[in-house]
């Protein structure tokens, strides 16, 4: 799988691959709204990020590989949907 197949802005890290992306916001209110929407999305998808690291104006998300140690369609689809969530934040 080449890097170009990853959704926009996501990068693969590690030997057991994870997908990582940093999202930046203008203020805590926007960050909070994104976090809440992210929680709802991952709940619905039944897939939870390996790790989320956030402060007032950023959210770093790490998605982990599936049970086979690979990044599969589920992870890529979730990454794409998280991107859409970010793009739609101002709607």
From candidates 51, 77, 84, 88, binder to a second copy by CB under 8 A: 51
Among 28, 45, 69, 70, binds a second copy (CB under 8 A): 28
Number of residues that bind a second copy (CB under 8 A): 13
Q: Is 52 in the site for a second copy (CB under 8 A)?
A: yes
32 near a second copy, rule: CB under 8 A: yes
- Interface with a second copy, residue 49, by CB under 8 A: yes
Residues 6+ away with beta carbon under 8 Å from 87: none
State the residues that interact with a second copy by CB under 8 A.
28, 32, 35, 39, 48-56
């Amino acid at each position: 799988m080449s890097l170009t197949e990853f959704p926009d802005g996501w990068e693969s890290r590690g030997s057991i691959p994870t997908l990582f992306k940093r999202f930046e916001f203008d203020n805590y209110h926007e960050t909070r709204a994104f976090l809440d929407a992210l929680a709802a999305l991952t709940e619905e998808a039944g897939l939870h990020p390996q790790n989320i690291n956030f402060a007032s104006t950023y959210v770093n998300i790490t998605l982990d590989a599936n049970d086979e140690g690979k990044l599969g369609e589920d992870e890529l689809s979730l990454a794409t949907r998280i991107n859409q969530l970010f793009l739609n934040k101002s709607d």
